[in-house]
Amino acid sequence: MASFFFVKSHYLWQVENVILIIGFGAILQGLFLSGLYIFSEKHKSTSNKILGLFLFALIWEGINSFLPVDQVGNYSLGYYFGLPESKLFMPTLFFHYVLLKVGNYDKYKIWVKLGYALGIIVAFLTVINMVSYLSIGKDLKVLLGVDKMEFLFMTQQVIAYGLSVVFLVFSFLEVKKVQIAAGEFYSDPDKLKIDWLKRFVILFVPMVALWGLELVRIFLELPEWITHFVTINWLLIFILLYYISFKAFTHEDLFRDFNRMDEELDSVSDAIDESQIIEMEYQMQTHQYFKNEDLNLYDFSKAVNVSPRKISESIKKHRNTNFSTWVNTFRVNLAIEMIQKDSLLSIEGIGQEVGFKSRSALYGAFKKIKDKSPGDFK
């Protein structure tokens, strides 16, 4: 029996060391990426700075877990609020980033500000803890007692977890909404592809699940070895997060005008008739507005002096499609004409000539509208 416990103990010691090595590697990689996101000039944006801070908040939790030093002198780094807590910042930064990407920050800014305020209050407990220790030689554990410190710590854990669940649900709803709305606003097919953002949001699901599992372990006082399972899964998620966050980092903020668009669409109630869509198609064909690769609903609305709502609803009712597909139909038809005339331009060159921003946009539109590739029309 004694030999069994020795083998088990030795095995757990090896697991802990492997986790420690991988953990430090993940932390260093995360610090590099968070710095890249925050200070990059090529992909400079507020959303990417928030993304970098979100990643740093996660890494800071890792640093708290893998820190090899528990004390500096008699000051405890490993006890509650010995170092600043970032748990409340994680869901708030995550949600803030998603909102900036979908252009709907104003709708939820009170929630976001509340999350930041709570995070700052909890982080400030570390300042109080350090000042108290340096000034009178007693930290909060001594002044408040262990029970009150544990209550404070678990309270902020539960609040942070609750915010994570709420913000995750809101994020799913916003991404779903914006994916539908994108087709009503943009003509560029590439701007309708937001799988990178969906994957980023979906990745937060197992993170929240593992966080919940850890809280259950603490409340039910389950064996400590269960944390090894949780930690290994955290490390796997971190590796995946680095890949997906880098994908998100390289994409621009696409949907800045959706609030304004929603307000304008809701404020107009024009009648819709067949002659209106025919007139709009005539204007599109005559002036070839579709050749503008960045054409969107507002641009076209101003050009033809018709409300965005009227354009959107006319296309939906009489052509059974959205603005994006409707505009790309003009591009595809002109591209086919040019291909069949043996144009000196390459297919990619023709795509650019008719208003497609990229090769993938050209081929994607042909596949969707004609169910063929451009080369099939030679």
Report domain extents, the chain. 2-254, 268-377
Two tokens, residue 344: 């000196």
CB distance 354 to 334 below 8 Å: yes
On the 0-12 / 13-18 / 19+ scale of CB atoms within 10 A, 378 is exposed
CB distance 336 to 324 below 8 Å: no
> pLDDT of 299-326, one tens digit each?
898 888 888 888 888 888 889 999 999 9
Per-residue pLDDT band for 234 (boundaries 50, 70, 90) equals low
* Helices and strands per DSSP (H, E), number in the chain: 15, 2
Close Cβ partners of 203 (under 8 Å, ≥ 6 residues apart): 237, 240, 241, 244
Close Cβ partners of 185 (under 8 Å, ≥ 6 residues apart): 255, 257, 258, 261, 296, 297, 298, 323, 324
Per-residue pLDDT band for 247 (boundaries 50, 70, 90) equals confident
> pLDDT of 61-87, one tens digit each?
877 776 777 888 888 888 889 899 999
Closest listed residue to residue 167, CA positions, set 85, 237, 97: 97
* Coil/strand/helix, residue 72: strand
Closest listed residue to residue 277, CA positions, set 251, 325, 315: 315
Q: Give the fold, CATH level 3, of 2-254.
A: Rhopdopsin 7-helix transmembrane proteins (1.20.1070)
| Length, in residues, of the chain | 378
Block residue for tokens 């354009």: 311
pTM (2 decimals)?
0.76
Higher pLDDT, 59 or 91: 91
User: Is pLDDT above 80 for 11?
Assistant: no
Close Cβ partners of 82 (under 8 Å, ≥ 6 residues apart): 75, 76, 126, 129, 139
Average per-residue pLDDT for the chain: 81
Q: Give the fold, CATH level 3, of 268-377.
A: Arc Repressor Mutant, subunit A (1.10.10)
Closest listed residue to residue 51, CA positions, set 256, 248, 202, 240: 248
Q: Which amino acid is at 69?
A: V
- Bridge partners (DSSP) of residue 75 are 72
